């Protein structure tokens, strides 16, 4: 009797649906981290350079 011919339980097969929650979670964490950093850097930029840059250029840089 060859063991490779036996039907394998679905839990052992790496299917995309079992990996999805993990990927989604890491994506969410990364997105939150990136957005947080973006807001932080934008605040810093506004503090230091905000007053010297004309509004049109400022909008083009940060949108």
DSSP symbol at 44: H
For residues 39 and 31, is the Cβ–Cβ distance under 8 A?
A: no
How many structural domains comprise the chain?
Answer: 1
As a whole number of angstroms, the distance between CA 57 and CA 38 comes to 18
Residue 27 within a domain: yes
Q: What is d(CA 49, CA 63) in angstroms, rounded to the nearest whole number?
A: 16
Is 49 domain-assigned? yes
- Domain assignment present for residue 31? The answer is yes
Tens digit of each residue's pLDDT (9 = 90 or more) over 2-47: 455 555 555 565 656 666 667 777 888 888 888 888 888 777 766 6
- Residue 11 placed within a domain: no
4 located within any domain: no
Q: What is the pLDDT of residue 1?
A: 46
């Amino acid at each position: 009797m060859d063991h490779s011919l036996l039907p394998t339980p679905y839990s052992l097969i790496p299917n995309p649906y079992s990996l999805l929650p993990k990927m989604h979670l890491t994506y969410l964490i990364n997105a939150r981290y990136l957005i947080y950093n973006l807001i932080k850097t934008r605040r810093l930029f506004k503090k230091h350079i905000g007053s010297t840059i004309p509004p049109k250029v400022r909008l083009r840089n940060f949108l």
